[in-house]
Amino acid sequence: MTIHSPFTPSIDEVNAPFYEGAANGELCIQRCESCGQHRHPPQQRCPNCHSDKVGWSVPKGSAKIFSFVIAHPPLPAGFAEIAPVPVALVELDDIAGIRLVGTLLDVGDRTPQIGDSVVVVFESVAGGPILPHYRFA
């Protein structure tokens, strides 16, 4: 089992394009090059046709909040300083069925709601690497 520090994702040959894309400001979603089905998180084989041929789609990055939490302390250093931390599970608008987790940034006084429109942003949160997070559209 790969071990990593809690703020640093475990990067391997399967998921590396996701992180390289994020560093370059692109949201990269794994796609089967044989049957075209998308999947996230990245994995080695297509669960539909078992092909290991992989491509990456770059959706617009607009999404709807499927659910969210607001995390309060105790939290580790980094997140403790910016608590309470809203974190969302979002559903992409233009790739059906794909969900991603990200911090909701710059919410201000607004209370998030399920169904709210958000857009992906690429930022470092809590001192971590640049990753896809979300802002209200």
Partner 1 sequence: MGADQTLADKAAIVGIAQSPFVKNIGRSEAAVAVDVVLSALKDAGIDPKEVDGWCSSDMESNYEVDLAREVGAEKMRFFSRIPYGGGGACAMLGQAALALTHHLCDVVVVWRARNRGSGQRPWAATQQPAWTSWNRPYGLFRPVDEVAMVARRYLYNYGVTREELAHVALTLRNYAQNNPNALTQGRTMSMDDYLNVRMISEPLCLYDCSLETDGGVAIVLTRSDRGKDLTETPVFIHAQAQGANGGYTQMTNFYVADPLAGPPGLAAKELWARSDIGAKDIDVAQFYDVFSTLILFQLEDYGFAPRGEAARFVANGTIALGGAIPTNTAGGSLSEAYVHGFNLITEAVRQLRGDAVNQVPNAQHALVTSGGHCAPTSAVVLRS
Residue numbers at the binding site for partner 1 (CB under 8 A): 1-10, 12, 15, 40-41, 47, 66-72, 74-76, 79, 84-85, 87, 89, 97, 99, 101-103, 114, 125-126, 128-129, 131, 133
Judged by beta carbon, residue 6 or residue 25, the one nearer partner 1 is 6
Instruction: Report, in Å, the least distance between residue 60 CB and partner 1.
Output: 20
Query: By C-alpha distance, which of 84, 74, 88, 79 is closest to 124?
Result: 79
Instruction: Report, in Å, the least distance between residue 79 CB and partner 1.
Output: 6
Judged by beta carbon, residue 10 or residue 24, the one nearer partner 1 is 10
Judged by beta carbon, residue 36 or residue 73, the one nearer partner 1 is 73
Contacts of 39 (CB under 8 A, 6+ apart): 29, 30, 31, 32, 46, 47, 98
Largest CA distance in the chain: 47
Report the alpha-carbon angle 12-15-18, nearest 5. Answer: 130
For residues 12 and 104, give the distance between their C-alpha atoms in angstroms, rounded to a whole number: 26
Query: By C-alpha distance, which of 17, 54, 25, 21 is closest to 39?
Result: 54
Instruction: Report, in Å, the least distance between residue 8 CB and partner 1.
Output: 7
Instruction: Report, in Å, the least distance between residue 114 CB and partner 1.
Output: 5
Judged by beta carbon, residue 7 or residue 55, the one nearer partner 1 is 7
